[in-house]
Chains A and B, each alone.
Chain A
Amino acid sequence: MKKAVIALAAATALAAGAAQAFADPVKVGMITTLSGGGASLGIDVRDGFELALKQSGRDDIELIIEDDARKPDLAVQLSDKLIQSDKVDVMTGIIWSNLAMAVIPGAVAQDKIYLSPNAGPSALAGAGCNENYFNVAWQNDNLHEAMGAHASSAGYEKAFILAPNYPAGQDALTGFKRFFKGEIANELYTKLGQTDYAAEIAEIRASGADSVFFFLPGGMGIAFMKQYAGAGVDVPLLGPAFSFDQAILQAVGDAALGVKNTSQWSKDLDNETNKAFVESFQAEYDRLPSLYASQGFDTANLLISAMDAASISDKDAFRAALKAANFKSTRGDFKFGPNNHPIQDIYVREVIKEGDVFTNKLVGVALEDHADAYAADCKM
């Protein structure tokens, strides 16, 4: 739990008078995963968020960062501390859906605003939606749905799908099937944390499928891809960006080349904000940003845009300002749906090698202006 209180003293001469029109300072509490397995996601989100704050040059945002070590009970405790002790106004940062479900319902019930830079559980997109909860990344199913759509439009007819046996994995395959029009050769659930996929790969080989869709985040995906490459099974791999982010790609290496993955963001998206973001991130942190970093960056900019339009002490106006999403996103135009989740294009990317670095290249659009499947259940 690293407490980094960043009180941004004005670093540059403030020319933009509008930025000072509503001067109530905002205290932001960020609970994210900075240690243990999976810490790379939290670190990216934090770095993206901090970069945006630094670039804005504002001194009225106080950021308190805490590390949840991927433990739900610790996250709840930190949430209590931020709300009761530090008296934050806005909260953000949680990476994992199980931690999100532990913290967010309680936080928004205490009238704190929560901006999610990553986790997008379906419960909070549908019946559990709340006017204080905004998701700046995606709803969990989105990237999987997009790959289902892409697989169909690319002509695949028989897909072999696998994911670990836990809610996010089950949701992933459900999302894929929602949009995939072909036949499912087999649907496998592996053990959470499993490291040896020989048995599953043998089944893929024997199934006669023409494509493989997998959702295996973190180390699981790295192991699977390496073993798949070594087995010489030629069936093309498809997956959501979670298995193909910058950090994982470097660890997998050649085994990932050519694989298609879906994401709402790619580093080569052609807009000014994104180009500047990628350049400045690389300059500041000496590595290429991942989609998590872009999500953190966008979250901070969304917050800043709301602060430009309203004061935090007028919650209704602030919420309306957030909903208007009047900021320049790394994804181009950004808008929220009625349940405060983004309606956005989901792209298809391909893994390539640029010099010594593995990264993704944009190759197409899977779904345009895609909303999530749970918006109708939201009674806001």
Chain B
Amino acid sequence: MSIALFLEQILNGLQLGVTLFLMAAGLTLIFGVMGLINLAHGSLFMVGGFVCAAIAAATGSFWLGLAASLVAAAALGAIVEIVVIRRLYDRDHLDQVLATFALVLMFSEGVRFIFGSFPLYLDPPEMLAGPITLPGGLPYPAYRLAIILAGLLIAVGLGLLISRTRLGMQIRAGESDREMIAALGVDIRFLYTVVFALGAALAGFAGAMIGAIQSVQVGMGEPVLILAFVVIVIGGIGSIRGALVAALIVGIVDTMGRFLLPSLLANVMEASAARGVGSAIASMLIYLLMAVVLVFKPKGLFPANA
């Protein structure tokens, strides 16, 4: 195994981490601010992917599709918040889980009804389609670099939003004491709608960007949902920084696990068994990681309300 391959895998791990952050950012925002477990997050991701594919196919422009997916996801998020989510803030976790689970069922069938069961076509835009040569001679897909850039920009942007703007101040206040901020005259209902729509927009944006290099089909949001939850739980719910750090850790652990486990195990067992066992363990690895983290730090690495 060469240094070049090792470095490329580290880069892949980081890229996977940023992708996971992109998926998880919206979820941690919603849960952190509103204390709401939103299982429909994966569905908003899916809607983003589908809208982008549909608009891109109709207009021929990926960028228009991307913009449309942001708008559509935000709008859908706002509507869902006003009609359904609003009634759930005071309920316990079970109700939130079940209500948003119900939304998942409805969104999935709704999308299938509108778009059919066949996967949709969505490709990255022409200018980002091929590889770029990184310093050192390593070719790397340009689009993945774009994803890394987008993810980091969003991380910085969210961080700035929360710490430097008025909205961010209200969000932070809402996280610590919901009743007090309402008593102080902040329109808490409007705030929550905005936050939910923002979280939905982030999910939809992720769906469009990631859908371009994966597949746009019903059910594309489910693996995302589980991964996003794993990331925010490891990172600590409500913490953007925690989500980013956890996402990077999960990305690297998963990538290196897939890459190294089979060959490491081949040292102690016969090759085909090593492959099978190694790959089985690699697929469970992030869950093992989450369980280990929770055993030692039951509220995640950087709990927001410590």
Interface residues, chain A, with chain B CB atoms under 8 Å away: 34-37, 39-40, 43, 165, 170, 187-196, 198-200, 202-203, 205-206, 218-220, 222-223, 226-227, 229-232, 247-248, 250-255
Contact = CB atoms under 8 A, between A and B. Distances in A.
A188 B257 CA distance: 13
B217 A199 contact: no
B139 A202 contact: no
A203 B259 contact: yes
A191 B279 contact: yes
A40 B218 contact: no
Please tell me the size bucket of the interface on B. Answer: 35 or more
Majority secondary structure of chain A interface residues (helix, strand, loop or mixed): helix
B143 A230 contact: yes
User: Which 9 A-B pairs rank lowest in CB-CB distance, beginning with the nearest?
Assistant: A232-B131, A222-B215, A39-B117, A230-B141, A219-B215, A189-B279, A191-B283, A198-B12, A223-B214
Nearest to A219: B215
Interface of B: 1-2, 4-5, 8-9, 12-13, 15-16, 19, 112, 117-124, 129-131, 139-144, 212-220, 223, 255, 258-259, 262, 272, 275-276, 279-280, 282-283
Contact of A206 (B2, B121, B124): B2
B149 to A, nearest CB: 15
B258 A199 contact: yes
A165 B278 CA distance: 10
Contacts of B141: 227, 230-232
A220 B213 CA distance: 11
A187 B275 contact: yes
Nearest to B263: A186
Contacts of A205: 5, 8
Contacts, number: 133
Contacts of B142: 230
Contact of A202 (B9, B118, B119): B9
Contacts of B2: 206
Contact of B214 (A192, A195, A231): A195
Contacts of A170: 276
Nearest to A220: B215
A165 B280 contact: yes
Contacts of B215: 195, 218-220, 222-223, 226, 251
Contacts of A188: 262, 275, 279
Given A191-B258, A223-B215, A231-B139, 18 more contacts: A35-B117, A39-B117, A40-B118, A165-B279, A189-B262, A191-B279, A193-B223, A198-B255, A202-B9, A206-B4, A206-B8, A218-B119, A218-B217, A230-B124, A251-B118, A251-B119, A251-B121, A253-B121
A206 B9 CA distance: 11
B214 A219 contact: yes
Contacts of A39: 112, 117
A209 B30 CA distance: 46
Task: Kindly name the residue among B4, B139, B143, B214 whose own CB sees the greatest number of chain A CB atoms within 10 A.
Answer: B214
A35 B219 CA distance: 11
